[in-house]
Amino acid sequence: MPTSIKMPALSPTMEEGTLARWLVKVGDTVSAGDIMAEIETDKATMEFEAVDEGTIVDIAVPEGTEGVKVGTVIATLAAEGEDPGAAKSAEPAKPAKAEQAAPAAKAEPEQPQAVEKAPAPQAKPAPTTVATSGSGQRILASPLARRIAAQQGIDLSTIKGSGPNGRIVKADVDGLQGAAAAPTAPQARPAPAAPTEIPDFGIPFEAEKLNNVRKVIARRLTEAKQQIPHIYLTVDVRLDALLKLRSELNASLEGEGLKLSVNDLLIKALAKALDRVPQCNVSFAGEELRKYTRVDISVAVAAPSGLITPIVTDAAKKSVSAIAGEMKGLIEKARDGKLQPHEYQGGTASLSNLGMYGIKQFEAVINPPQGMILAVGAGEKRPFIVDDAVSIATVMSVTGSFDHRAIDGADAALLMQAFQQLVESPLGIIA
């Protein structure tokens, strides 16, 4: 019997998506793990893989379709050995029969039996991908689901699959990752909707429809400002020693194809500061305070579809060169819309740097469920008192935004002080 391919939930917050591009057409044969389509989620454009072998007999949702709800049938797959023509003609008949049977259910008791029998065969495709756990237990899982589980250290034997015959698919693994973070999100999600119509006052304009990423940014930032009591602390930090160290490190790395940026060093400095002041590496989670034992830094990156925050995991323990290499790859993937969920979901704190645009100082909005974000301004020459004498120094203003429900002002001040000390005496960053 034919298998219905449904719009997957490719991220924990995804409710609908845009079917950006089909990579297969009617008549194509696919195997488990083959990439079938590109789907624009609420975060990025991601690849969608097949979980069964078979032939594509129908594409129900054309590419470019927006607002496709999760669970909507987008294509139909004929199982191996099944006549594609028969499968295609048989598939549309099922919903019609179910719809006709529904109103007559009371009058004819035999009709409900026909409705119950129709969906049953859809769960029968023969398993094509079988994984084995360390204990020897047979586990049905798609190749991509196994790969993500291995990267994240997830035991597949603990997951109940939603695919055919209970097969574990990518959405199941992503859902498990999202389930851990879900309780930390604010419970009161609804935010006042923007007015559907606003006066234009006769001013010429062009209306551009919001993409999924921009919609999520608007909703999450609105919720963050409404629900999180922000407290802001600012310090002025001398950069001269850090700039000198960066120059020396880049000279030593010459010929290796890697160049450290100031931002790479600041990521490491924030991670080390959080390691020294762990009471700021926390999240407010309703009835509990979540204290993280690892420092994962989310770094704000401007992508064509909107702001996204790829993550440097365990940044306090990584070398600056490792952070630089990782950030280079993450930025490229972010701008191409190719980030995978585990590369942008999570993080324990964020860093946003607008110094390259000449911005002197700003206050960033906390990225929930995180407890803080550091906003970095431009380094500029300023009169500065050193050893009771006025001199010229390169100084930048750094502002920390803290969730006052989780972080006290004194602890936030300790973190800002630790960050300042690490940047002004940067050997502590590479120690």
**Could you read off the pLDDT of 136-158 as tens digits, one per residue?**
556 777 767 777 777 677 877 77
Is pLDDT larger for residue 148 or for residue 317?
A: 317
> Sign of the C-alpha dihedral, residues 113, 114, 119, 123?
positive
402-414 pLDDT tens trace: 999 999 999 999 9
> Is 195 part of any domain?
no
- Strand bridging mode 349-353 / 297-299: parallel
> Is 190 part of any domain?
no
1 and 65 both lie in a single domain? yes
> Is 285 part of any domain?
yes
Which of 215, 328, 382, 404 is catalytic? The answer is 404
Is 404 catalytic? The answer is yes
224-278 pLDDT tens trace: 999 999 999 999 999 999 999 999 999 998 888 889 999 999 999 999 999 999 9
Sorted by sequence, the CB contacts under 8 Å of residue 131 that are 6+ apart come out as 138, 139, 140, 141, 146, 156
Q: What is the CATH number of the domain that holds 282?
A: 3.30.559.10
Of 23, 71, 74, the C-alpha closest to 45 is 23
CA distance 48 to 32: 11
Burial of 400 (0-12, 13-18, 19+ CB in 10 A): buried
Helix (H, G, I), strand (E, B) or coil at 250: helix
pLDDT of 21 over the 90 cut: no
pTM: 0.61
pLDDT at residue 303, rounded to an integer? 83
292 and 337 both lie in a single domain? yes
415 and 288 both lie in a single domain? yes
pLDDT of 196 over the 80 cut: no
Tokens of 373: 């974000």
* Mean pLDDT across the chain: 81
133 and 101 both lie in a single domain? no
Tokens of 251: 């000279």
pLDDT at residue 102, rounded to an integer? 42
Number of folded domains in the chain? Answer: 3
> Is 232 part of any domain?
yes
364 and 419 both lie in a single domain? yes
279-308 pLDDT tens trace: 999 999 989 999 999 999 999 998 887 788
5 and 53 both lie in a single domain? yes
Domain residue limits at 4: 1-123
Which of 99-108, 198-207, 210-219, 393-402 shows the lowest per-residue confidence on average (mean pLDDT)?
99-108
Question: Per mean pLDDT, which of 64-78, 176-190, 412-426 is the most reliable?
Answer: 412-426
Examine the fold and report which residue of 108, 123, 138 is the final residue of a domain before the chain moves on: 123
96 and 146 both lie in a single domain? no
Q: What kind and span of H or E run contains 121?
A: none
